[in-house]
Amino acid sequence: MRPSIRRLGRGLAVLIGVVVGVALLVVFVANRQAPERQEAAVSATPVRFVEVRPLDLRLEARGHGVARPAETWQATANVAGRVVERHPALESGTLLPEGTLLLALDPSRYELAIADAEAELASLAGELSRLEAEEENTRRLLGLEQQALALAEQELARIERLAASGSVAASRRDEQRRSTLGQRQAVASLENSLALLPARREVLEAQRERATVRLAQAREDLADTRFEAPYDLRLGEVEVERHQFVTSGQRLFQAESLEAAEVEAHIPIAMMRRLLAAVMPESTGDAAPALAEGLDLAERLDFTAVTAELFLAGAEGVGWTGELVRVASGLDPTTRTVRAVVRVDHPYRDARPPDRPPLQRDMYVRTRLSAPSPEPRLVIPASAVHQGEVWLVDAEDRLARRAVRVAFEQGNLAVIATGLIPGERVVVDDLPAAIAGMALAPRRDEALEARIAEQALGEGHREARP
């Protein structure tokens, strides 16, 4: 009986536990309370923005190039001779003023050639004077002989009449005929002499011209024995010494003018197209076809409107101001860039080495050309453009995404062609998650707007120049 009693007790205990659990569940359900709904506060993302507005813009074209003197003198001997004088400072790198005698060759042989030519000219002058006197005398004698011939002809005619009437013997007539023929021969001889005088004069004048040419050549050769500085210059390589004999055509030294230096800057064609279009008259059209054809545009463009600045690569704060003087014909065959030539006048005038060196040959420089844009442009920071779109703050201070077309980028700026209008607010912060419609706490960055305006005018990137 005991095992059955124990089983009955365990069953009653389980039943009682189930009843109590159900009773508690009914109590809890009857007394439950509905959960309270609380709206979560939405936080706005703080961002900075700039207001889009048209700005005056200076279009820029940047490139690199190597400096060279605008004028170079390669001194070469035109005549042969021994070096008898050499300037003591005739060494590479020396600066010498205009008119300085740099080198002189032995002039003796050319002085002798001048004396010989002058003597020959004097002799020919005497020959011509004698010929003129001879011509004058011959003409005077011819006049006398012609008068004598006229008398002889008259006498012959009288004797012929008398001989016809038998008043004069035949011998007298024959004698007069011989006398008249002799007179005619004398006149003919003088006339022949006069006829030959012009030919003799031409020969003498030709000889005089030849002697004059020899004299001029001798004087030129004498002048070529002296080498004087044609302008203020800096000497390059010197290849001659005193007492050395030089031959015609031999290189002596090289010199560079201090008047001006040039840089042929290689600039991307897209940059140069924008710059030249800004300074090209409207009637001539776009600069792109002309550049593509490699034409020389010097006569069609107003280069005075272009500001040219040069900066020495690798030297902070070292630069020069120049002027764009021409655009070389054709493109560079290797880089397909435009070759813009910038000229710097008097590169040695204000030089203060080493802080401010002069612009010398083979210096590698950066070139910046700029000109005002014909009309204001919409300019924003280039970092505000995200893969062809910008983020805007709309009227409800929420984020809006807008596709734009960038005309070109210049430095840290992007020039917008389409997609924005003046007055819109462009977000300049980089958001980790740019979701359209997200709430924003915008703050206008007026300092950045001022910097953008300065950069658009080229002032933000202006490098310090001595």
On whether both 404 and 445 belong to a single domain, the answer is yes
On whether both 139 and 206 belong to a single domain, the answer is yes
On whether both 414 and 361 belong to a single domain, the answer is no
On whether both 93 and 238 belong to a single domain, the answer is yes
Rounded to the nearest integer, the mean pLDDT of the chain is 85
Q: How confident is the model at residue 116 (pLDDT cuts 50, 70, 90)?
A: very high
Inside any domain, residue 383: yes
Inside any domain, residue 41: no
In the chain, the number of structural domains is: 4
Inside any domain, residue 323: yes
Q: What is the CATH number of the domain that holds 98?
A: 2.40.50.100
Q: Is the pTM of this model over 0.85?
A: no
Q: Residue 39 has what pLDDT? A: 46
On whether both 274 and 206 belong to a single domain, the answer is no
Inside any domain, residue 238: yes
Looking at residues 328-335, what average pLDDT do you find? 83
On whether both 289 and 386 belong to a single domain, the answer is no
Residue 130 has pLDDT above 50, yes or no: yes
Q: Residue 329 has what pLDDT? A: 81
Inside any domain, residue 28: no
Q: Residue 324 has what pLDDT? A: 92
Residue 113 has pLDDT above 80, yes or no: yes
Question: Nearest CA to 463 among 272, 312, 267?
Answer: 312
Name the residue with higher pLDDT: 78 or 160: 78
Which H, E and C letters describe the chain, residue by residue? CHHHHHHHHHHHHHHHHHHHHHHHHHHHHHCCCCCCCCCCCCCCEEEEEEECCEECCEEEEEEEEEEEECCEEEEECCCCEEEEEECCCCCCCCEECCCCEEEEECCHHHHHHHHHHHHHHHHHHHHHHHHHHHHHHHHHHHHHHHHHHHHHHHHHHHHHHHHHHCCCCHHHHHHHHHHHHHHHHHHHHHHHHHHHHHHHHHHHHHHHHHHHHHHHHHHHHHHCCEEECCCCEEEEEECCCCCCEECCCCEEEEEEECCEEEEEEEECHHHHHHHHHHHCCHHHCCCHHHHHHCCCCCCCCCHHHCEEEEEECCCCCCEEEEEEEEEEEEECCCCCCEEEEEEEECCCCCCECCCECCCCCCCEEEEEEEEECCCCEEEEEHHHCECCEEEEECCCCEEEEEECEEEEEECCEEEEEECCCCCCEEECCCCCCCCCCCEEEEEECHHHHHHHHHHHCCCCCCCCCC
CB 271 within 8 A of CB 368: no
Mind listing the pLDDT tens digit for each residue in 5-34?
Answer: 666 666 666 667 666 676 666 666 666 665
On whether both 407 and 365 belong to a single domain, the answer is no
- Single-letter residue type at 392: L
Show the domain range for 233: 80-104+227-257
Phi-psi label, residue 286: left if phi above 0, alpha if psi -120 to 50, beta otherwise: beta
Mind listing the pLDDT tens digit for each residue in 188-241?
Answer: 988 888 888 899 899 999 999 999 999 999 999 999 999 999 999 999 999 999
Q: Residue 298 has what pLDDT? A: 52
On whether both 126 and 212 belong to a single domain, the answer is yes
Q: Residue 4 has what pLDDT? A: 62
Inside any domain, residue 64: no
Q: What is the CATH number of the domain that holds 404?
A: 2.40.420.20
On whether both 143 and 243 belong to a single domain, the answer is no
Domain endpoint, select from 170, 198, 223: 223
